[in-house]
């Protein structure tokens, strides 16, 4: 059995340094001044993930206005039919 003469603190420091080096090397952030060229697909995905297209705020405001003025008519039978159709589709 061989006993290592190096201290545990030195080994810990070496492991910590190695981890930091790997983390910096694998970082997906480009260094300052470096340009990144994205493909068209990457640009589209980036635009979708920004949340800009999640909600149509004009439509939301129109619905709010209709509710406030009492003009919004909710067709409960249409909602029920859509729910049943969705459930039937899931059961197939």
Region for residue 79 given its phi and psi (left: phi exceeds 0; alpha: psi -120 to 50; beta: otherwise) = alpha
What distance in Å separates the CA atoms of residue 49 and residue 43, rounded to the nearest whole number? 10
pLDDT for the residue numbered 52:
62
pLDDT for the residue numbered 85:
96
Which of 81, 62, 80 has the alpha carbon at shortest distance from 71?
62
What distance in Å separates the CA atoms of residue 75 and residue 17, rounded to the nearest whole number? 65
Give me the mean pLDDT over the 51-64 stretch: 84
Identify the helix (H) or strand (E) that includes residue 71.
none
pLDDT for 63 beyond 90:
yes
pLDDT (tens digit per residue) in 9-55: 666 666 667 667 666 655 556 667 788 888 888 888 877 777 666 78
Looking up tokens 């909602």, which residue turns up? 79
pLDDT for the residue numbered 47:
77
């Amino acid at each position: 059995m061989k006993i290592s003469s190096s201290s545990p603190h030195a080994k810990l420091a070496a492991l910590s340094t190695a981890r930091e080096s790997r983390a910096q090397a694998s970082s997906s952030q480009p260094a300052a001044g470096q340009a990144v060229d994205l493909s068209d697909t990457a640009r589209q995905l980036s635009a979708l993930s920004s949340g800009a297209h999640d909600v149509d705020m004009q439509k939301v405001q129109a619905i709010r206005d209709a509710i406030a003025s009492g003009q919004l008519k909710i067709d409960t039978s249409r909602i029920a039919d859509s729910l049943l159709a969705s459930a039937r589709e899931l059961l197939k």
